[in-house]
Chains A and B, each alone.
Chain A
């Protein structure tokens, strides 16, 4: 079964850091780009970041550029999001999502999400 399981969310103060993880199973992980997509409470979907299958290319939404870093460990079938200098507006449910291919841009498998709350 193709599956993505996120972890690492929690409550953090503004300016703090958090590292999210996503464990993948059921598919050849390094054949696919992977993404992080977030959803603020009661709001719509916002794409956050992308990493290519070999990890050589990364992209970020302007709202997180310079603060967030996406990475992957293909030997562990794992995706990560290092989040620094967190702001209250980063409060959201963070989903990892599998690309249709290696950087096509649509998402065919989603995890259940991990909640990040930035609050003092």
Chain B
């Protein structure tokens, strides 16, 4: 079983800030990592897969980086619509797919 540690669990930020969310694996997963955004009452949406590939239609202010055990989601200039909860997910050791605990990005 691959253990995932996503941090922070809560991030307070202002519109225009650059924010980063971390996801660390207990063992290497190459680049088999995805990032999702979930807004209250809505289904998750895929932002990034293969660690750094931006899903079609996702704004370019979102970017992903990393490989092996350490990964980062960066939002370069936080917009009001970006306040949401973000999840990382590994699909290297799959099944099962496993998700991080989530990071809630709230207004500071």
Contacts and interface: CB of A to CB of B under 8 A. Distances in A.
A60 B36 CA distance: 22
A47 B99 contact: yes
Nearest to A100: B49
A120 B42 CA distance: 28
Contact of A108 (B55, B95, B100): B55
A44 B49 contact: no
Given A44-B87, A45-B87, A100-B49, A105 B43 contact: no
B98 interface: yes
B99 A46 contact: yes
Given A44-B101, A46-B99, A106 B89 contact: yes
What band does the interface of chain B fall in when counting residues whose beta carbon is under 8 Å from A? 20 to 34
A20 B32 CA distance: 29
Interface residues of A, number: 21
Dominant SS among interface residues on chain B: loop
Contacts of A104: 91
Contacts, number: 56
A60 B96 CA distance: 7
A112 B98 contact: no
Interface in B34-51: 34, 36, 38, 42-46, 49
Contacts of B95: 47, 50, 59-61, 105
A95 B34 contact: no
A95 B100 CA distance: 17
Interface of A: 35, 44-47, 50, 59-62, 95, 100, 104-108, 110-113
